[in-house]
Structure 1
Amino acid sequence: MATKPKKIKKILLTQPNYAWLSKRTWQFPPYTLCLLKACVGRMAETVVYDPNFGNVSEEEAVKFLKTTSPDLVGITSVSTEYIEVTRHTVALVRKHLPNAVIVLGGVIPTVMPEEAVKDGNADYWILGEGELSFPALVEKLQKGVEDLSGINGLAWRRGGELLFNKSEFIPDLDKIPFPDYSNISGLTLRDYGNIRGKYTPWLVARNYPTAVTITSRGCPYRCVFCAGKTVTGDKVRFRSAENVLAEIDSLCAQGTKEIIFLDDHFLADRNRAVKIMKGIIKKHPGLTWKCANVTVWLLDEKLLRLMRKSGCDSLFISIESGVQRILKEVIHKPIHLEKIPPILRLAKSLGFKIVSSFVIGFPGETWDEIRQTFAFSEKLEVDMVTFHIATPLPKTELMDICLRDGLLPKGHLENISKHAGYGKGFITTKDFTPFELEVVRSFEWDRINFSSGEKKKAIAAICGITAEELEDWRVNTRRSLGVNSLVKNILSSPAK
């Protein structure tokens, strides 16, 4: 059955400026939006617009919307923390482009579909991966096809009925084209690549311009706090080494000097990872790279030496807890703590900078066990330690436990954006309160990391900030017991 085809000649792909509602803003290449642009191809003129670049105001964004006047607007969001600003952005688009088709995708409709579809300003929602679903929707709308039941992961209305199509993961990632970075609203990949990351160590590069990519999707582990199995699946799907190296060729041709791999599990297929590293050594010997997360139990001397030789000098390792019982019985992460110190000492001896991450405040964790995690982290020979407070996200086991046991404040789901941020606590058990977690997290982070002038200097360099910015960060963290007061300081500045 068909209806009158919709005029979709121009598409705008965008995301909120997360700072519009006093959240942290993220200024790195809009990878997923440019990926969708490549998938749409010649079906329509497609413009990518990222108001995070330069911290664009709402007024400026509205002016751009009106000037561009797209027929369809695709909006994404990176985390449930940003649900309010995402709704705000959808409403902004609807107000100023009343006749445009609005499609919402990304993490929010994927892990919070029931909440996402309450927004009457959107016309369609894509749950899960959108690289095939989004162009399929565009094509059917252009042709006037009424039955959209065959589009993977689409939520849509038929008459007054709201329908959810089954969502399946894309099996062959090599079939997805590389991101199209041409004309990001007049910007280039190099413009983004020259932004100096601040505060978040894995975004602080050694060489600029930088670029990001994702070479695999999914994770086989079942960490209690992670929604990854819903977003990308519980089995790892890999792009081939040849496909990854071809993208690296393309990025380097555009001037990239450092690449950040955003995979959940880059090292899951050791042979593939080795091929990629050897390919970098052979074709791009001056390129540097890093992973946003390294699976520590897969590291050994041979692999570490190859990583260093191929241009990696930083390790970001999520250990989560310094208590074996918590890792095994609560978090479900296959780490053996006794094996961690030797491998990190080896990595340090090879010249790696190491940042380790821990999470406190799980149901079933005692106050003494929280203290043991701080003690364990302090003994590690690493350059910086970060601490987060356990945050129950939708579609996670942690959320299920908290709801079952009544550990969350009233109206939590409706106000999730006020709680998320990983420096704020909101789980209450017989062992701790949110306020206690915030206090101990804030002051132990400060005590362990900044015990000497030498450590302060090293951490400032790792985080891409000045000594003055570091001191402001410490003061703000102590006084706010969280992260959101740093919005003004987290904005990145162009590289010189």
Structure 2
Amino acid sequence: MKVLLINPPYFNSKYKFIGLVAPPLGIAYIAAVLEENNIDVEVIDAAALEMSWETLEAEIRKANPGMVAVTALTPTISNALKTAELARKSCPEAKIVMGGYHPSFNHQEMLEYDYVDFVIIGEGEYTFPELVKTLNEGGDLSKVKGIAYREVITPPRPLITDLDELPFPARHLLPMDHYKILNQKLTTATMISGRGCPMQCSFCASAALHGNRLRVRSAKNVVDEMEHLINDHDAGIIAFMDDTFTLKPRRVADVCDEIVERGLDVYWGCTARADTLSDELLQKLHDSGCITMFLGVESADQQQLDRVNKQLTIEKIRQAFRLARKNEIRTIASVVLGMPGDTKDSIRRTIKFARELNPSYAVFSLATPYPGTRFHQEAVQNNLLKVKDWSKYTLLSPVLETVDCSLEELKKMQKTAFRQFYLRPVYLLKQAWMDGPILFKTVAAMIKEV
């Protein structure tokens, strides 16, 4: 059975306003495991290739697979379902599978569509080849853990405990020359060094999918992949896409030491949590090539941070940005506007706080309760959701009102936040020498998009 994995087209996405087109690592991991099991597999990244529906349909026909699997996030679910429908039309005999965050948490909804045969629930690397093998051999599908089909939901598959056992993502099946950051086709690669998170912030879907225990790859295995990206894919910049790369500082230090010991000539960036950063660790990060960190700020209101179970103080956030500047590491502040309990006044204070932190960049998202999160459960229970169209769940469109902010007012305040942060003369002068035309093009795109 030939397997075709598809990342569906997206025409409106939160990523477009920062010019980011990243490889779909989830299906690239699955493809690698399928290859290890001698299963014929092909990948179509319709998003990166900016495929039209007509082109995608033609490519599916050309591949002529026995199984088509489509990955989906919440804002891309409509396009993912349309892709699945196209697959059924193009290859009527093929089995159609849905996977990814949104299908995992909404498998019953997915199976209401007659062109969806199976849903992979949770991590799919080991579930997928077992499903293919069972179908090939006419085995008992109810024995395959971690799937849903029609009236059946099988027991959950245990999380993968040893991530070092997984092969590197099958990037040779991806259009690597089509990925970009800030709309620039740079030699940039992405990777993941761990899964799961014990912090349990109410708005995070990743911990719900990957578990509340952090599972990490060894420092050697992580740096082996970095070396592979440099040597085989000419990567000059590597971005770690972990939920929180710095959650275990000792492991981070080991990764930094391994990079330095091997003499790797690479710049890289990561996600970080403010209370995991020390002066010593930041110095190691800097010396090993880390140039950028993405830090969750969320709010300037301590009560709001406590309400979403952030387990972080305002002072720790301030200290993290001070230490990052001291160690010459750029920062991206992630700010959330419009959480339940937010008022116009608290939102203004949060916008002001973001400027005071003086990060290199800031992203002002609108509070979005994704399926699978405690935030979504509470929003449904309290009848807070004003928008049911999943395609609007992009972090750029308001989907719930606060105690004194309508959807329209929240959108205006988001636009104000971007303008007040990026159009400060002092900021523009300070950043222009580093980023030049790219910065101005990106700022203009951000403000236009929101």
TM range, normalised to the smaller chain? over 0.9
1:236-283 deviation digits (Å, cap 9, x = unpaired) = 111122221222232222022221111112122222211111111121
Is 1:373 the equivalent of 2:350? Answer: yes
Amino acid at match of 1:357: S
Question: Equivalents in 2 of 1:246, 1:357: separation in Å?
Answer: 30
Question: Equivalents in 2 of 1:285, 1:22: separation in Å?
Answer: 34
What are the within-5 Å matches in structure 2 for residues 165-314 of structure 1?
165-184=155-174, 187=175, 189=176, 191-192=177-178, 195-198=179-182, 208-254=186-232, 255-291=234-270, 293-314=271-292
Of 47, 56, 71, the match for 1:52: 47
Q: Secondary structure, in 3 states, of the residue corresponding to 2:268? A: strand
Amino acid at match of 2:83: T
| Contact 2:29/2:168, CA 8 A, preserved across alignment | yes
Amino acid at match of 1:225: F
Is 1:66 the equivalent of 2:56? Answer: no
What are the within-5 Å matches in structure 2 for residues 68-467 of structure 1?
68-77=63-72, 79-145=73-139, 147-157=140-150, 161-184=151-174, 187=175, 189=176, 191-192=177-178, 195-198=179-182, 208-254=186-232, 255-291=234-270, 293-328=271-306, 330-409=307-386, 412-413=387-388, 415-417=389-391, 419-452=392-425, 455=428, 458=431, 465=438, 467=440
Distance 1:65 1:174, change over 3 A: same
Aligned-pair CA distance for 1:285? 2.9
Distance 1:209 1:45, change over 3 A: same
The aligned residue for residue 17 of structure 1 is 9
| Contact 1:460/1:470, CA 8 A, preserved across alignment | no
1:391-424 deviation digits (Å, cap 9, x = unpaired) = 1111222222222222222xx44x222x311122
Aligned-pair CA distance for 1:179? 1.4
Distance 1:23 1:120, change over 3 A: farther
Aligned-pair CA distance for 1:106? 0.8
1:456-478 deviation digits (Å, cap 9, x = unpaired) = 7727966983635533542x24x
Question: Equivalents in 2 of 1:369, 1:466: separation in Å?
Answer: 29
Q: Secondary structure, in 3 states, of the residue corresponding to 1:131? A: coil
Question: Equivalents in 1 of 2:445, 2:123: separation in Å?
Answer: 39
Aligned-pair CA distance for 1:162? 3.5
Distance 1:253 1:116, change over 3 A: same
Distance 1:182 1:339, change over 3 A: closer
Distance 1:224 1:263, change over 3 A: same
Question: Equivalents in 2 of 1:225, 1:248: separation in Å?
Answer: 30
Aligned-pair CA distance for 1:182? 2.6
Question: Equivalents in 2 of 1:375, 1:312: separation in Å?
Answer: 27
Question: Equivalents in 2 of 1:387, 1:343: separation in Å?
Answer: 19
Distance 1:46 1:175, change over 3 A: same
Distance 1:285 1:253, change over 3 A: closer
Question: Equivalents in 2 of 1:338, 1:22: separation in Å?
Answer: 33
Aligned-pair CA distance for 1:52? 2.0
| Contact 1:384/1:459, CA 8 A, preserved across alignment | no
1:297-326 deviation digits (Å, cap 9, x = unpaired) = 111110011001000111211110111111
Aligned-pair CA distance for 1:23? 7.6
1:346-375 deviation digits (Å, cap 9, x = unpaired) = 321322222211112122233322222122
Q: Secondary structure, in 3 states, of the residue corresponding to 1:182? A: helix
Compute the TM-score of the two structures, normalised by the length of structure 1: 0.84
Aligned-pair CA distance for 1:153? 1.0
State the number of aligned residues. 445
Distance 1:197 1:463, change over 3 A: farther
Question: Equivalents in 2 of 1:14, 1:374: separation in Å?
Answer: 38
The aligned residue for residue 5 of structure 1 is none
Q: Secondary structure, in 3 states, of the residue corresponding to 1:365? A: coil
Question: Equivalents in 2 of 1:256, 1:60: separation in Å?
Answer: 29
Q: Kindly report the root-mean-square deviation, in angstroms, between the aligned alpha carbons of the 2 structures.
A: 2.3
Question: Equivalents in 1 of 2:145, 2:250: separation in Å?
Answer: 32
Amino acid at match of 2:221: N
Question: Equivalents in 1 of 2:317, 2:153: separation in Å?
Answer: 48
Aligned-pair CA distance for 1:430? 3.2
Percent same amino acid among aligned pairs? 30
Amino acid at match of 1:265: T
| Contact 2:365/2:395, CA 8 A, preserved across alignment | yes
Amino acid at match of 2:149: W
Distance 1:18 1:456, change over 3 A: farther
Give runs of ≥4 in structure 1 deviating > 4 Å: 21-26, 459-464
| Contact 1:43/1:139, CA 8 A, preserved across alignment | no
Question: Equivalents in 2 of 1:463, 1:355: separation in Å?
Answer: 18
**Higher mean C-alpha deviation, range 457-466 or range 223-232:** 457-466
Question: Equivalents in 1 of 2:372, 2:173: separation in Å?
Answer: 36
Aligned-pair CA distance for 1:284? 3.8
Question: Equivalents in 1 of 2:77, 2:162: separation in Å?
Answer: 30
Distance 1:132 1:452, change over 3 A: same
Distance 1:23 1:286, change over 3 A: closer
Distance 1:82 1:462, change over 3 A: farther
Structure 2 stretches lacking a partner, 5+ long: none
Aligned-pair CA distance for 1:58? 1.7
Distance 1:264 1:322, change over 3 A: same
| Contact 1:16/1:50, CA 8 A, preserved across alignment | yes
Compute the TM-score of the two structures, normalised by the length of structure 2: 0.92
